[in-house]
Amino acid sequence: MPKKGGYRKKKRTHVEEDPDDDEYIPKSFIIRRGKIGRFATELVKDMRNCMYPNTAINLHERKNNSLKDFLGVSGMYGVTHMMIFTATEKSNYMRLIKNPKGPTLTFRIKDYCLSKDIISFNQEHKRKNKIFTEKFTTAPLLVMSGFNNLEEDDSFKLVTAMLQSLFPPLNVEKIKLDECKRVVLFNLIRPDDGTAPYIEFRHYALHARQRDVNRGIKRLVNNSRLPNLSRMGDIADYILGKKAGYYSSESEADDLPNSKVELAQDFQGKKKSSNVAIRLYEVGPRMKLDLLKIQEGFCSGNVIYHQLVQKSKKEILETSRELKKKRKAKEERKKEQEENIKKKEKELGFDSESELEEVDESKLTRKQRAARKKKVAEVTNLKKVKFAEDKEEVF
């Protein structure tokens, strides 16, 4: 307590965040379009939990919301990516988009498994570890396997760049081990039968277990409940008895020489420079993604790669020329519309839009107000027609 007549000074106990760091953190919207089914909607929720905290976890989509609405809001909140889930009669699809101008990657979801199914399968892990019920407040780490030694023309080179930009970059000098709680794995698999390669997506939780400790003591330390020693004369009977000899295959895996790691910082209650075994527990979801199509723009534009349609170099050049012609025609149309609006404004007696706003209507008579309203309506109708013609379709 301060002295009588003194004043209290509040001490700031929380760590002040650096505003410059937030600029380099990628953020995402994970949404669904159309009717995708009950299980696919749960998959969307699981993916939001996986990408938390750099995604909108409680985002509500409506039928009248278009992708342009999400794109307009994403610029306000600094959202860099979109993950869109759709469905057809044949299969489910996932589109990964870089805001605001693409590219767009379209994947076919071959198989998927929800988080609740994976956790219910591992009931023993769920009882012993709190890692399954913990709410993660840090972004997952990215691990990519099978993406090395890609050719220059390989379409998966662009996929690697997109996946790397989806997660925040790691700074080895500033990273803290307490922030490393989860791992996201993208594994590129090329089958031997010559079929198209696909990507496996897995989500794991990290857990550290003490090493270089007797099995009986390790069992006593890792057990969350107090053991029943009523039938034993000493605690040594519990540690060295027959009950201590039963271990699962997972506990025996801790004794492997490659699983030993020396901690550089304090991690999950383990002190610095202590030997631990890093364990991975799968928390889901799980997906098999088949790359179907790559487009240049935001859900539109030239198709760079298509799994089912293969074009020759001549056909690719022709499509690019047609797109250039369409862009030129669109620019010419815009110029003509702007010139027509200026001509119409001069015919109506207004040289610019500012003159319409600067007029004080309180000083005008009724007839002058009515005439001015007609002129303003004609100019605004011209602009509405212009905007309707310039409007781009997202799909």
Residue type, 20: D
Residue 280, classed as helix, strand or coil, is strand
Give percent above pLDDT 90 in the chain: 26
* Residue 155 near residue 188 (C-beta atoms within 8 A): no
Average pLDDT of span 337-354: 69
Q: What is the pLDDT of residue 163?
A: 94
Q: Is the pTM of this model over 0.85?
A: no
CA dist list (Å): 65 to 46, 69, 70 = 22, 6, 8
Please write the tens of the pLDDT for every residue from 101-120. Answer: 889 999 999 999 999 888 88
* Residue 272 near residue 97 (C-beta atoms within 8 A): no
Q: What is the pLDDT of residue 149?
A: 79
Closest CA to 52 of 76, 70, 29: 29
Average pLDDT over the chain, rounded to an integer? 78
What six digits make up the tokens of 115? 């988080």
Question: Does domain 21-206+286-306 fall into CATH 1.10.1520.10?
Answer: no
pLDDT interval class at 245 (50, 70, 90)? very low
Location of each CATH 3.40.50.10480 domain in the chain:
21-206+286-306
Residue 104, classed as helix, strand or coil, is strand
Q: What is the pLDDT of residue 107?
A: 96
Query: For the chain, how many residues are written?
Result: 395
Q: What is the pLDDT of residue 379?
A: 66
Average pLDDT of span 280-302: 90
pLDDT interval class at 174 (50, 70, 90)? confident
Please report how many Cα atoms fall inside a 13 Å half-sphere around the Cα of residue 34, on the Cβ side.
Answer: 10
Average pLDDT of span 197-213: 84
Q: What is the pLDDT of residue 394?
A: 37
